[in-house]
C-alpha cells in the first residue's frame, strides 16, 4: 500500500471528518465542538499533505542533482 498517496488524499481526510463528525453528533456533542474537531482534523490533513509533498519535491530535486559519471566510486581519489 502506498501510504504517502493515501495520507495525502483529500478523499481520505473528508471520510475521516465525516466519520468523526457523525460519531460526535451521535453521542450528543455540541455543534461548536464538532466544528472545532473538524477544523483540527482538516489542519492535520493539510499538514500531512504538505510534509509529504515537500519530501517528494526534495527527493526529486536530489535525484536530479545526482550526476552519473559512468563508473563506481570506491572512496579513493
pLDDT in tens, 1-46: 787 788 778 888 889 989 999 999 898 989 999 999 999 998 998 8
DSSP 26: H
Under a CB-based contact definition with an 8 Å cutoff, are residues 24 and 37 in contact?
Answer: yes
Model-wide pTM > 0.75: no
* Residues 17, 34: Cα–Cα separation, whole Å: 10
Under a CB-based contact definition with an 8 Å cutoff, are residues 20 and 37 in contact?
Answer: yes
Model confidence at 67: pLDDT above 80: no
Secondary structure (3-state) at 21: helix
Q: What is the pLDDT of residue 39?
A: 92
**C-beta atoms surrounding 77 within 10 Å:** 4
* Residues 13, 28: Cα–Cα separation, whole Å: 22
pLDDT in tens, 45-63: 889 888 888 888 888 877 7
Amino acid at each position: 500500500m502506498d501510504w504517502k498517496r493515501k495520507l495525502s488524499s483529500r478523499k481520505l481526510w473528508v471520510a475521516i471528518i465525516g466519520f468523526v463528525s457523525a460519531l460526535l453528533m451521535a453521542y450528543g456533542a455540541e455543534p461548536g465542538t464538532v466544528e472545532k474537531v473538524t477544523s483540527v482534523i482538516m489542519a492535520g490533513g493539510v499538514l500531512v499533505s504538505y510534509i509529504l509533498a515537500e519530501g517528494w519535491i526534495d527527493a526529486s530535486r536530489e535525484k536530479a542533482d545526482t550526476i552519473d559519471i559512468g563508473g563506481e566510486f570506491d572512496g579513493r581519489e
